[in-house]
């Protein structure tokens, strides 16, 4: 909403716009404002009066007050985890749940709740001098390996840890990756409730915790479709767009898993698959018995297209 105009002026402009005696563009020009500003004022007035869905002016002001820069990164996470876990357990009481997150979720209240409710976790920990001192021997060993091979070297360790400040209510298992790359140390730490006999240190870090990055990449992949196009006027319309984008993403994932197996694009990103296999020009002719698709002779991935067709027909 444009700034610099008093509420009385905006209210009068909305009243004139609702009379429909002039077009928005003409009325905005007469009032000396942009037609987009006038359109936004009318839309917001409709929301405030309950004529359409959306955030009211008061709700927007409240969100601004709540959006503080000094809030903890994990603020509200415990409440959401309790809600989500409760819904899952209501349907599947015996299901095993493991939370996986970065250091922003490494908070005692969340870990303590997980331990009390049979929910496992693996959270990243922010590195500090005390943790680095604990794995100093492993870092030195990794450095020596790097000097011999000049390739990234990793040494995995684990230990029981408690905070000096007392922010943790108990000692917890910490898995450490003492790594040396490009002539510098790169230690990483993960606190977990999982038992060593079930998850050894290296396996827990590489197979369980690092899979979090792959999950984030899959989420980011959806941005190459139309999941970010949520500019509709209503929440329901935007939600429908998200549903359609998610379904499109699943279809492309199925194409990658089944049609592109054993090809050079078996691990390709969704955007690449869309560009090379779907977003192409072709002539389509429909007869009584067949559908003919004629592609340009210069189409560079004709062999790949044929391979996908063969895989899907099997």
pLDDT digits (tens, 9 = 90+) for 261-284: 999 999 898 889 988 998 888 899
Pairwise CA distance, residues 152 & 206, whole Å: 15
Pairwise CA distance, residues 139 & 132, whole Å: 8
Residue listed under structure tokens 């089944």 = 258
Torsion of CA 249, 251, 252, 257, to 10 degrees: 120
Counting every residue written for the chain, the total comes to 314
- Give the mean pLDDT of 52-78: 74
| Rg value, the chain, Cα | 28
- From the list 277, 275, 281, the residue with the least C-alpha distance to 307 is 277
Neighbours of 216 (CB within 10 A): 11
Exposed, middle or buried: residue 217 (CB in 10 Å: 0-12, 13-18, 19+)?
Answer: exposed
Answer whether 155's CB lies under 8 Å from 178's CB.
Answer: yes
Phi, psi of 74 (to 5 degrees): -95, 5
Kindly report the pTM of this predicted structure. 0.62
Domains identified in the chain and CATH numbers: 7-66 (1.10.10.10), 77-209 (no CATH), 235-313 (no CATH)
Query: Is the pLDDT confidence value at 156 over 50?
Result: yes
Lowest mean pLDDT, pick from 4-8, 192-196, 303-307: 4-8
Answer whether 120's CB lies under 8 Å from 194's CB.
Answer: yes
Lowest mean pLDDT, pick from 35-44, 100-109, 127-136: 35-44
Q: Across-strand partners of 125? A: 189
Query: What pLDDT is recorded for position 2?
Result: 44
User: Over the range 232-271, which residues count as b (16 or more CB within 10 Å of their CB) and which as e?
Assistant: eeeeeeeeebeeebeebbeebeebbeebbeebebeebebe
Query: What pLDDT is recorded for position 159?
Result: 96
Answer whether 111's CB lies under 8 Å from 98's CB.
Answer: no
Lowest mean pLDDT, pick from 8-17, 49-58, 102-111, 162-171: 49-58
Q: Residues 204-251: pLDDT tens digits?
A: 999 999 988 877 887 888 877 777 777 887 888 888 888 888 898 899
């Amino acid at each position: 909403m444009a700034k610099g105009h008093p509420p009385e002026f905006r209210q009068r402009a909305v009243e004139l716009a609702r009379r429909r005696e002039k077009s928005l563009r003409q009325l905005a020009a007469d009032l000396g404002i942009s037609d987009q500003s006038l359109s936004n004022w009318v839309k917001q007035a409709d929301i405030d009066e309950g004529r359409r869905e959306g955030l009211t002016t008061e709700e927007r002001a409240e969100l601004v007050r709540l959006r503080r820069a000094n809030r903890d990164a994990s603020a509200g996470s415990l409440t959401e985890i309790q809600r989500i876990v409760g819904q899952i357990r209501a349907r599947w009481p015996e299901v095993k749940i493991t939370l996986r997150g970065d250091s922003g979720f490494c908070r005692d209240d969340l870990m303590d709740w997980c331990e009390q409710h049979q929910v496992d976790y693996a959270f990243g920990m922010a590195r500090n001098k005390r943790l680095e001192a604990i794995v100093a021997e492993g870092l030195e060993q990794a450095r020596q390996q790097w000097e011999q091979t000049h390739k990234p070297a990793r040494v995995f360790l684990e230990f029981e840890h408690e905070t000096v400040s007392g922010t943790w209510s108990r000692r917890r298992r910490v898995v450490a990756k003492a790594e040396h790359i490009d002539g510098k140390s790169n230690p990483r730490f993960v606190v977990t409730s999982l038992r060593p006999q079930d998850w050894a240190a290296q396996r827990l870090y590489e197979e369980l915790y690092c899979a979090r990055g792959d999950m984030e990449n899959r989420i980011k992949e959806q941005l190459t479709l139309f999941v970010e196009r949520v500019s509709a006027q209503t929440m329901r319309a935007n939600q429908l767009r998200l549903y359609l984008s998610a379904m499109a993403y699943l279809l492309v994932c199925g194409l990658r898993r089944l049609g592109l197996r054993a090809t050079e694009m078996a691990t390709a990103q969704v955007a690449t698959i869309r560009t090379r296999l779907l977003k192409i020009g072709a002539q389509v002719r429909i007869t009584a018995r067949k559908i003919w698709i004629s592609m340009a002779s210069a189409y560079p991935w004709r062999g790949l297209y044929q391979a996908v067709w063969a895989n899907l027909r099997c």
